[in-house]
């Protein structure tokens, strides 16, 4: 995954978490192409059934310039042939191009964290197979521009948020559009290249037998910022001793596929792929190792466990010869220094499965060293040893979720996995785990150990292959702590092990599920013990009047309703919450992804996960005890709800972390029953108090309750 894509994913997810309105499509000021009627805006446009040709969207020089859409206009139907994919989590994309290969004929259809490529359910057609090169598609979405590349993506303000683009498959088995063939000069990377824009998202090829030379490579400490990439020059016009400047062609072996670059000085016969633009300039993106015709040996790309302690999967960028792939002497375990027990090349000739014996426990550090394997296409052997490290074995989820003792003992204490990298970054070392799929909401899926138990669930962001609820999987990827949530990201391997019963939801009180206490001694029962698991909040009371499909707060459990937790609506539910209604909520427990003041929330998977308790019903609004809650938390303002079992004097004040009172919200007598107040973040002097942590203190009679809240700018 490129650094730019990683940042794009993190910013999009964080904005979606902090600004809930970003989950709603916002295209009110955009035009629709084609317009819904001949009289609709934009004025002067025809109203065909579909624009069909990608050129009608991208070519600014067409005669009908009044009909040329620009971001954030919506485009209801352009078609093309699939020429390539971005299959690497966390942002997926499909490239389509008009069959004639003309300029402005290609476009990137960006599907966010949802993998349309391997999941035919997104297409809704009768073919029932994953997408492949040569499929004919129609795409519907919102125009955008990503670092110079025009793309079609979802309709919401965030490209990772539903509704995502609609894609309809028309046919399969079509010929690919012809490559645009030309020279290094023609495809040069400079952003001022006048030839470049018209071929963005199109198939291109630069063929100059033995005339292309690698002059920079990311594998040899060059200044290139994209991993697995290189610069090629024309070796005739720019020989080895040339002073320059020389035209250069940027070859990207990282975005669409992981392809190791040739060494500096190596000659290349031909390079092809999908042309695009980034901030640096124009480039060719390789779709596989077959897109570059050079004399390079294979490059070790990945390695990770696929079975408990006895099998690993080793992946290369180029096809291997059978003899070299199955020679155990070419594969050595880091822990023992001994060759693997057996090596078997797979149908995909870039992949080798190795049997190993190392005596290590699950989660121990391990690795594989490789040398001597041979490129099946050019006969070039690997002569420099390469190594990939990973965590040993297919680890139980409880081991992945177990808190790192070092982090628990630190100041401040944090509950985080020892297999995650620092901060919110994913570790570069692969790990594997096993679990039953318990749910999927948007781009996130969840798995849980079949036997259940504490810390037995985990979320997976943008899984590379579709998961089916009630199936068990072995999944390999990386672990990251995303603002308090331990999650599996960057998945590189998914194996379906068949139907296995979904573990029963664990029934817990709201006070436990919402508890974010960092448990140094691991003696408490807190939300971290159930993060990523199916849980059930039973007989809890709604404390907000909301419209159908909205998120809402519940307090519980009956008959005590002091603690609250958010029931989030990320699954487009239609449940209509009524104030003081008693419900039971089955949900996936997830963190709120807040920058500060992380809290837990309940994520029901569908309407069936929320049931109304008809016996308790709305019932008597007079509570059995005093309750006090604030929401949203974090938030830019606060909605305070409290309830009294009897008429009493109530004072509510806001205090900063130094103990100074900054605002007074209530100081008087209130009747028995529920009440609510709002705080707009202003102090007693009428000025905004500023973002930070504040304490909300309520005194009712002789009883004092305190809640911690986070105020955002």
Q: What is the pLDDT of residues 560-580, one digit of tens each?
A: 667 899 999 877 678 888 888
pLDDT at 19: 31
Q: How far apart are CA 361 and CA 480, in angstroms?
A: 22
Kind and range of the H or E element at 406?
helix 405-409
pLDDT at 117: 85
- Contact of 123 with 116, CB cutoff 8 Å: yes
Q: How far apart are CA 255 and CA 250, in angstroms?
A: 13
Structure tokens that stand for 292 in this block: 């570059």
pLDDT at 658 over 50: yes
Q: How far apart are CA 163 and CA 315, in angstroms?
A: 35
Encode pLDDT of 436-463 as tens digits.
999 999 889 999 999 999 999 999 998 9
* Bigger pLDDT: 362 vs 71: 362
Q: What is the DSSP letter of 369?
A: E
CA triple 247-250-256, angle to 5 deg:
160
pLDDT band for 11, please (50, 70, 90 cuts). very low
Q: How far apart are CA 491 and CA 512, in angstroms?
A: 31
Strand runs labelled E in 470-523: 471-482, 485-499, 506-507
Spatial CB neighbours of 19, under 8 Å, sequence gap ≥ 6: none
Encode pLDDT of 342-354 as tens digits.
999 999 999 999 9
Give the pLDDT mean for 467-483.
94
Structure tokens that stand for 96 in this block: 């389509």
- Contact of 259 with 299, CB cutoff 8 Å: yes
Tokens 């004399």 found at = 295
Q: How far apart are CA 620 and CA 616, in angstroms?
A: 9
Please state the separation of Cα 298 from the chain's center in Å: 29
pLDDT at 234: 92
Q: How far apart are CA 106 and CA 85, in angstroms?
A: 13
Residue 40 CB neighbours (<10 A): 13
Encode pLDDT of 688-701 as tens digits.
888 888 899 999 99
Share of the chain above pLDDT 70, in %: 87
Residue 150 preceded by cis peptide, ω within 30 = no
Give the pLDDT mean for 232-236.
92
Encode pLDDT of 15-48 as tens digits.
333 332 223 333 334 566 555 554 544 554 544 4
**Mean predicted lDDT score pLDDT of the chain:** 85
Is residue 194 exposed (0-12), middle (13-18) or buried (19+ Cβ within 10 Å)? exposed
Q: Concatenated DSSP letters for 531-575?
A: TTSEEEEEEEEE-S---TT--EEEEESTT---EEEEE---S----
Is residue 350 exposed (0-12), middle (13-18) or buried (19+ Cβ within 10 Å)? buried
Encode pLDDT of 371-384 as tens digits.
999 999 899 999 99
Structure tokens that stand for 143 in this block: 């125009």
Encode pLDDT of 136-148 as tens digits.
998 888 988 888 8
pLDDT at 23: 30
Structure tokens that stand for 311 in this block: 């099998």
Tokens 């291997």 found at = 320
CA atoms within 13 A on the CB side of 19: 14
Encode pLDDT of 579-620 as tens digits.
888 899 999 999 986 545 578 999 999 989 999 886 554 445
pLDDT at 221: 55
pLDDT at 654 over 80: yes
Strand runs labelled E in 34-188: 74-86, 93-97, 106-110, 136-146, 149-153, 166-171, 180-182
* Bigger pLDDT: 117 vs 621: 117
Which parts of 22-103 fold into alpha helices (H)?
Answer: 55-58
Share of the chain above pLDDT 90, in %: 53
What count of residues does the chain have? 713
pLDDT at 9 over 50: no
Closest C-alpha to 45, from 29, 58, 28, 62: 62
Q: Is 259 left (phi over 0), alpha (psi -120 to 50) or beta?
A: beta
pLDDT band for 472, please (50, 70, 90 cuts). very high
Q: How far apart are CA 370 and CA 330, in angstroms?
A: 6
The per-type count for the chain, helices as H runs and strands as E runs, is 6, 40
Q: How far apart are CA 565 and CA 536, in angstroms?
A: 12
pLDDT at 346: 97
Q: How far apart are CA 332 and CA 660, in angstroms?
A: 63
pLDDT band for 653, please (50, 70, 90 cuts). very high
Spatial CB neighbours of 347, under 8 Å, sequence gap ≥ 6: none
pLDDT at 1 over 50: no
pLDDT at 25: 32
> At 251, phi and psi to the nearest 5?
-115, 120
Encode pLDDT of 522-542 as tens digits.
999 999 999 999 999 998 989
Q: How far apart are CA 224 and CA 221, in angstroms?
A: 8
Give the pLDDT mean for 252-265.
90
Q: What is the DSSP letter of 197?
A: G
Encode pLDDT of 162-197 as tens digits.
788 889 899 999 999 999 999 999 999 999 999 999
- Contact of 42 with 1, CB cutoff 8 Å: no
pLDDT at 20: 28
Single pTM value for the model: 0.74
Tokens 């090596």 found at = 343
Give the pLDDT mean for 206-227.
76
Please state the separation of Cα 357 from the chain's center in Å: 34
Give the pLDDT mean for 493-503.
96
pLDDT band for 308, please (50, 70, 90 cuts). confident
Encode pLDDT of 48-101 as tens digits.
434 567 887 788 777 655 566 777 888 878 889 999 999 887 789 999 999 999
Residue 142 CB neighbours (<10 A): 25
* Bigger pLDDT: 423 vs 463: 463
3-state secondary structure 6-29: HHHHHHHHHHHHHCHHHHCECCCC
Kind and range of the H or E element at 650?
strand 648-656
Q: How far apart are CA 528 and CA 531, in angstroms?
A: 5
Give the pLDDT mean for 665-678.
88
pLDDT at 287: 96
* Bigger pLDDT: 665 vs 91: 665
Closest C-alpha to 369, from 401, 398, 328: 328
């Amino acid at each position: 995954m490129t650094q730019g894509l990683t940042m794009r994913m993190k910013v999009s997810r964080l904005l979606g978490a902090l600004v809930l309105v970003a989950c709603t499509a916002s295209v009110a000021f955009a035009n629709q192409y084609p317009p819904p009627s001949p009289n609709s805006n934009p004025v002067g446009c025809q109203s065909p059934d579909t624009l069909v040709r990608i050129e009608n969207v991208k070519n600014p020089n067409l005669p009908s310039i009044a009909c040329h859409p620009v971001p954030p206009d919506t485009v209801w139907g352009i078609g093309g042939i699939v020429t390539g994919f971005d299959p690497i989590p966390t942002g997926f994309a499909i490239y389509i191009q008009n069959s004639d290969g003309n300029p402005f004929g290609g476009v990137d259809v960006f599907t966010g964290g949802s993998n349309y490529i391997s999941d035919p359910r997104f297409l809704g057609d009768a073919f029932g197979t994953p997408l492949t090169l040569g499929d004919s598609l129609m795409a519907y979405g919102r125009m955008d521009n990503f670092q110079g590349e025009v793309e079609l993506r979802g309709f919401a303000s965030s490209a990772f948020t539903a509704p995502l683009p609609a894609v309809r498959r028309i046919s399969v088995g079509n010929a690919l559009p012809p490559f645009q063939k030309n020279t290094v000069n023609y495809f040069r990377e400079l952003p001022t290249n006048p030839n470049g824009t018209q071929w963005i998202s199109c198939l291109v090829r630069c063929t100059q037998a033995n005339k292309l030379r690698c002059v920079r490579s990311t594998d040899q400490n060059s200044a290139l910022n994209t991993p697995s990439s290189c610069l090629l020059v024309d070796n005739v016009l720019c020989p080895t001793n040339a002073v320059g400047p020389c035209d250069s062609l940027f070859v990207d072996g990282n975005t669409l596929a992981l392809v190791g670059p040739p060494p500096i000085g190596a000659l290349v016969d031909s390079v092809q792929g999908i042309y695009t633009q980034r901030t640096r300039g124009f480039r060719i993106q390789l779709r596989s190792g077959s897109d570059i015709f050079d004399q390079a040996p294979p490059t070790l790309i990945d390695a990770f466990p696929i079975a408990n302690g006895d099998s690993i999967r080793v992946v290369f960028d180029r096809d291997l010869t059978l003899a070299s792939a199955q020679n155990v002497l070419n594969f050595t375990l880091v822990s023992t220094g001994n060759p693997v027990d057996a090596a078997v090349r797979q149908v995909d000739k870039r992949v080798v499965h190795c049997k190993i014996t190392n005596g290590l426990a699950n989660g121990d550090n391990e690795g594989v060293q490789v040398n001597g394997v041979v490129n099946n296409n050019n006969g070039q052997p690997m002569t420099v040893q390469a190594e990939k490290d990973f965590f040993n074995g297919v680890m139980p989820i409880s081991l992945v979720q177990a808190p790192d003792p070092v982090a628990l003992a630190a100041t401040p204490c944090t509950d985080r996995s020892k297999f995650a990298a620092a901060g919110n970054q994913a570790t570069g070392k692969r790990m594997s785990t096993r679990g039953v799929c318990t749910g999927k909401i948007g781009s996130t899926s969840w798995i849980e150990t079949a036997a259940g138990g504490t810390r037995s669930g985990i979320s997976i962001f943008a899984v590379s292959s579709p998961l089916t609820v009630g199936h068990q999987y072995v999944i390999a990827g990386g672990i990251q702590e995303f603002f308090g949530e331990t999650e599996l990201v960057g998945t590189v391997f998914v194996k379906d092990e068949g139907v296995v019963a979904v573990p029963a939801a664990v029934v817990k009180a709201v006070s436990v599920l919402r508890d974010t206490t960092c448990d140094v001694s691991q003696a408490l029962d807190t939300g971290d013990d159930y993060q990523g698991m199916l849980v059930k909040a039973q007989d809890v009371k709604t404390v907000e009047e909301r419209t159908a499909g909205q998120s809402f707060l519940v307090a519980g459990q009956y008959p005590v309703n002091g603690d609250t937790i958010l029931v989030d609506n990320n699954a487009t539910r239609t449940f209509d919450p009524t104030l003081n209604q008693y419900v039971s909520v089955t949900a996936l427990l997830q963190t709120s992804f807040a920058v500060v003041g992380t809290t837990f929330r309940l994520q029901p998977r569908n309407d069936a996960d929320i049931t109304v308790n008809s016996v308790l019903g709305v019932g008597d609004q007079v509570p059995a005890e005093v309750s006090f809650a604030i929401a949203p938390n974090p938030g830019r303002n606060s909605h305070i709800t409290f309830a009294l079992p009897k008429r009493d004097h109530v004072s509510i004040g806001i205090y900063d972390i130094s103990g100074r009172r900054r605002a007074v919200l209530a100081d008087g007598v209130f009747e028995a029953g529920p009440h609510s107040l709002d705080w707009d973040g202003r102090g007693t002097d009428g000025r905004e108090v500023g973002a930070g942590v504040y304490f909300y203190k309520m005194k009712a009679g002789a009883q004092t309750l305190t809640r911690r809240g986070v105020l955002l700018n």
